[in-house]
Amino acid sequence: MSDQKEFDALAAEMFTLYRAAEYARALDLVEKSRASFPEQTARVTFWRACLLSLCGRADEALAVLADGLEAGLWWHEAQFRDPDLNSIRHLPRFKELVAQSQERWSLETAGMKSDRTLLEPAASGPYPLLIALHGYSGNKDSNLNYWEVACKKGWLVLSVQSRLPAYPGSYFWEMESGIEDILFHLGEIRRNYRIDGKRIIVAGMSQGGGMAVLAGLSPKIDAAGCISVAGAWAEVESFKAAAKSAPDRRCYFITGLKDHILERSREIQALLKAKGIPVQEEVHPDLGHEFPPDFEKSLDRALHFLFQ
């Protein structure tokens, strides 16, 4: 199995080229490296299709998707709404491939359940609990190198994986099913560990950061608040109802001025503030859609705000 850090480095380099509209170079990088990451085949195959589409190579983009389906891959239909595929969206063959993929997705994911990874601190309980949520296309093991900082500080870390797969090995959140998944695992953990009920927080990155805010404000989850790293959510209106029932919760946002979703994050923050939710934003001038380099200090500041 290839190293996750190596793949993360490839993804970072590829997206740097992508954001600079260097699509041909990004494609070349992916083509040269993809054989080294067999467990990431579904993700990399979709990258290749998107980059080929952006390069105007429609036939090759369609062939990559078709070959992936032939090899047993599949993607949720939401993946195909990616604007990077706009150049092939009108083609009959593209529509056929989307239908094939969604049919296979339905078959492969029927009855699929949520999962979790647990990081246990060396200290004995009762434990403060950090519920960690992956971003879009992440899984229960995503970003654990960051959340383990909390574990070293004595926090029990429960990393929850959504029940909804975007493609093999990668998952996404929807609000209602996400709350249910978190509640299920929280109940399991409470049956097996002594938890400090006054020190429970929900944290996440990207789409998981948006889900962390919704969960952290939910009256169904007895949390003190949330930490949202580069947090995003498609439906900002979802936060209005959540904010009404959580006057005693607090939310800490970690953002980067170079993040493409910064405006959406600040729209969420403004809505929460308007509803009376205490919100604090930590801004990093040179940060994109990622964790800050010294996340331990950011976590310390977030915890101080949540429990002050």
292: pLDDT strictly greater than 50: yes
State how far the Cα of 16 lies from the Cα of 205, in Å rounded to an integer. Answer: 19
Q: What is the pTM of this model?
A: 0.88
Q: Is the dihedral of CA 270, 211, 155, 287 positive or negative?
A: negative
C-alpha distance from residue 261 to each of 200, 264, 286 (Å): 27, 5, 14
Domain 4-109 CATH (choose: 1.25.40, 1.10.10, 2.60.120, 1.10.357) = 1.25.40
Q: Give the separation between CA 50 and CA 54, rounded to whole angstroms.
A: 6
Contact 67, 34 (CB under 8 A): no
Over residues 72-76, mean pLDDT: 94
For the stretch 14-72, pLDDT in tens is: 988 998 999 999 999 999 999 999 989 999 999 999 999 999 999 999 999 999 999 99
Can 4-109 and 115-307 be said to share one CATH topology? Answer: no
Pairing mode, strands 279-284 and 115-119: unpaired
Instruction: List the chain domain ranges.
Output: 4-109, 115-307
At the top level of CATH, the class of 115-307 is alpha beta
pLDDT band for position 234 (50/70/90)?
A: confident
Which two structure tokens, joined as six digits, stand for 285? 């001038």
Tell me the three state secondary structure of residue 176: helix
